[in-house]
Amino acid sequence: MRWPAQLSFLLPTLQLPMSTVTPPRVYAPSTKPFALKEGHDVLSPKDMLELPRAGGAVANPAGDLAFVPVNEYSFDERKMNSTIYITSLDPAGLPATFPVLNGGDAFWLTDRTLAHVVTESNGQAIYAISLTYTAEPASVAPSSPVFIGHLPPSPASNFKYKSGVLVFSAYTWADGDLFDTPKLDKERSKEGSGTSARVYESGYPRHWDTWKTPGKESQLFSVSLTSSGAEGEEKWSLSDAYVAPLNGTKHYAPVEPFGGTDDFDISATHIVYTAKDPKLPYAWHTRQNVYIVPIFGGEAPRELTTGKQGATHSPVFSNDGKKVAWTEMAEDGYEADLSRVIVYDLEKDVRFGLADKWGTSPSAILFSPDDASLFALAGDQARVKLYSIPLPATPSSDSKLNVAPVPLIEDHTVTGVQPLVDGRVLFSQSSLTHPPEVYLRDKTGAKITQVTNLSTKKLTGKELCPGHEFRFKGAEGKTIQGWVNLPPGFKKGDKAAWPMAFLIHGGPQGAWEDSWSTRWNPNVFAQQGYVTVTVNPTGSTTFGQELTDAIAQDWGGKPFVDLQAGYKAVLKLYPEIDPERTVAAGASWGGYAINWIAGHPEFDFKFKALVNHDGVFDTRANGFVTDELFFFDHEFGGPPWKSAETVEKYNPARFVQNWSIPMLIFHGEKDFRLPVTEGIGAFHSNQRMGVPTRLVVFPEENHWVLDPGNNLKWHTEIFEWFAKWLD
């Protein structure tokens, strides 16, 4: 292989002098039979996967009832059971939950009527379910569902309903409408056209886990859904006049791959939404503009952003429909830039930053019911906290204000917030010891009431560790934070008794937080008998933007000073860890870290085995083939031909000569962020270096392992691999 001229500086390091060839290392894997630890006192991977998974609660406008969608997997039935619970929000009646429905989408039509969208053999149908609510003792009785109507034959999702108008999203052809989609799908399929070729001239050929269908995009649609008749006896009617307010604009919402109902909001008259800037190539720009359009179209959308910003998220209307707020990053191309709250006063035509000097990045915002303040969720110190930001009078011209956010809930990880009219706040919260449950904060914050109690019983008798924080000096003297999750039975003073699992997070702009996960759950590792260590090195979020920013163009630098210092600090703090029995695992950037550690024996980690899940192997290749090119450009300082020096300096593929630690490699074949060839490259390298290795490919998985059966296989492979090299 010829190297481009600008890479000739690498050549001397590419040949090993003959005289330094060392004899092959001898490996002695354990031959003991392996079984996962299970039992009433252990949270096994299977137990964890079978815990109920609650979505955010959605309250009715009156704030006295809420529905909570819950998914629950059963390995016996090999089935994900989806249920929608209706719960009373009356403190006197708590807790009182009533499972009423089997899956599907739901939204409130009135305080006592829930719309339920179900997929039937002939398409999606909407039903109305009336609820009879008695406060004392709290009970909710649902009526039998009453059919309202069928939706057009293009699968609809992301429903929002207000003042007689239903807004949702669906994938349609640019030249078609909701009713044409199946006909056009057929015409353009192999059956209709004689070829299954896909042809691209711009955009993403594939994104996240999906090959794009050229010409077919996500759009928003509006339709009347109105009632007649007395309260409690409404007759509902769904119009068949569907309007596509974004038709012809080249604005596509929600934004793929993760956009949903938080990418748009509706008032009685308008839709506000975020969409990728149609003038910029999507793959190497993050700019998303915020637009407002009449709910039934008829006017071109009006842009509310300056057009000079980066990504925007979470556009929301005030309750009176007179203001819009969203979160905004400054830099186009940087997906982890500091996020600011922007408010747009539609009457005064003034745009202002609200908390410009705030050091953390809000991830979701909402107006309080009286529009006097905003609620914001933001990551801070490895937690996700709820804040309130008082909303001052609109300034006379565009400006940046510095209102100080007030923390309302600071523990664990808060999600799914909804302020209620009476001043209470409905929210979900998870932690290292508990999956999300729904709670209510009273008006003053003096009292927090638990609304759902889905998992407590199933977790009883399992000794889950709340996570012990430690801090140490990392690169450039900065304080770095980490967590230790101790295994059940851990006793202070047990000298060198416990193996350690050192987990490295992805992103790299992410963090190990006090939250629950079904994929990388520190307590699931601890429950298998490992002191589990999770460090938040340079590049991590929630510890200030400076630490997040500092990893750019330094992938193999400061983060590894931090990780080495963290490894040493934890061995010192916990002499109970056996320093000869440590292993490491990571996914995505964490997988990059595993490949980088494999190539740098001088780092002085003593890992006996490594696990690399969908990790970067060849940085250079990645800069060409990943889906979101902006990410690579930002991290390395330009496309691969412009950033070649940094790309090769920190390329794990260049240090394969040093690999010697047994490595288990996972890769999802639908991972288009880091394609499967990254895993294959690492596998081949281990094989040719004579290093024991194992490649586990999941054909249906993307960057994550989502299917519970595959997830159980993933956990089993990891713990068996660890045992093989530690026992």
Catalytic residue annotation: 588, 671, 703
CB of 262 to ligand NAG, least distance (A): 25
**Contact call for residue 450 and ligand NAG (CB under 6 A):** yes
CB of 571 to ligand NAG, least distance (A): 21
Q: How far apart are CA 422 and CA 419, in angstroms?
A: 8
**Contact call for residue 72 and ligand NAG (CB under 6 A):** yes
Per CB under 6 A, the segment of 3-11, 184-192, 266-274, 451-459 that binds ligand NAG is 451-459
CB of 309 to ligand NAG, least distance (A): 29
Letter for the amino acid at 47? D
Give the residue among 264, 240, 266, 232 at the shortest CA–CA distance from 109. 232
**Contact call for residue 457 and ligand NAG (CB under 6 A):** yes
467 vs 599 by CB, closer to ligand NAG:
599
Per CB under 6 A, the segment of 73-81, 118-126, 128-136, 704-712 that binds ligand NAG is 73-81
CB of 409 to ligand NAG, least distance (A): 17
* Count of residues interacting with ligand NAG (CB under 6 A): 21
* DSSP-assigned letter for residue 116: E
Give the residue among 506, 549, 627 at the shortest CA–CA distance from 331. 549
**Contact call for residue 596 and ligand NAG (CB under 6 A):** no
Per CB under 6 A, the segment of 150-158, 325-333, 498-506, 653-661 that binds ligand NAG is 653-661
Among 456, 476, 700, 709, binds ligand NAG (CB under 6 A): 456
The answer to whether 465 touches 433, Cβ cutoff 8 Å, is: yes
Quickly count: other Cβ atoms within 10 Å of residue 464's Cβ. 20
Cα atoms found within 13 Å of the Cα of residue 619, Cβ hemisphere only: 31
CB of 450 to ligand NAG, least distance (A): 4
**Contact call for residue 658 and ligand NAG (CB under 6 A):** yes
Per CB under 6 A, the segment of 3-11, 452-460, 526-534, 705-713 that binds ligand NAG is 452-460
Angle between helix 558-573 and helix 589-598 axes, rounded to 10 deg:
80
How far, rounded to the nearest angstrom, does the alpha carbon of residue 581 sit from its chain's CA centroid?
A: 32
The answer to whether 600 touches 563, Cβ cutoff 8 Å, is: no
Q: How far apart are CA 413 and CA 511, in angstroms?
A: 12
b/e map 3-33, b = 16+ CB within 10 Å? eeeeeeeeeeeeeeeeeeeeeeeeeeeeeee
**Contact call for residue 648 and ligand NAG (CB under 6 A):** no
Residues in the chain: 727
Cross-strand bridge partners of residue 616: none
72 vs 578 by CB, closer to ligand NAG:
72
Site string (503-542) toward ligand NAG, x via CB under 6 A: ----------------------------------------
Per CB under 6 A, the segment of 40-48, 254-262, 450-458, 706-714 that binds ligand NAG is 450-458
Q: Per CB under 6 A, which of residues 169..188 are in contact with ligand NAG?
A: 177
Number of helices (H), then strands (E), belonging to the chain: the values are 13, 41
Which residues, other chains included, contact 84 with Cβ-Cβ below 8 Å and sequence gap of 6+?
A: 67, 68, 69, 70, 99, 100, 101, 103, 104, 106, 116
CB of 590 to ligand NAG, least distance (A): 21
Site string (78-117) toward ligand NAG, x via CB under 6 A: ---x-x-----------x---x------------------
Q: Per CB under 6 A, which of residues 460..499 are in contact with ligand NAG?
A: none
**Contact call for residue 77 and ligand NAG (CB under 6 A):** yes
For residue 311, what are its two tokens? 């990504």
Per CB under 6 A, the segment of 1-9, 204-212, 365-373, 448-456 that binds ligand NAG is 448-456
CB of 137 to ligand NAG, least distance (A): 15
177 vs 185 by CB, closer to ligand NAG:
177
The answer to whether 496 touches 577, Cβ cutoff 8 Å, is: yes
Q: How far apart are CA 26 and CA 5, in angstroms?
A: 39
Task: Write the secondary structure of 467-503 as one string of H (helix), E (strand) and C (coil).
Answer: CEEEEEECHHHCEEEEEEECCCCCCCCCCCCEEEEEE
CB of 95 to ligand NAG, least distance (A): 5
**Contact call for residue 71 and ligand NAG (CB under 6 A):** no
Letter for the amino acid at 664? L
**Where does residue 572 rank: exposed (0-12), middle (13-18), buried (19+ CB within 10 A)?**
exposed
Residue carrying the six token digits 């340079």: 538
The answer to whether 61 touches 111, Cβ cutoff 8 Å, is: yes
82 vs 319 by CB, closer to ligand NAG:
82
Residues in contact with ligand NAG by CB under 6 A are 13, 72, 74, 77, 81, 83, 95, 99, 177, 244, 247-248, 450, 453, 456-457, 601-602, 655, 657-658
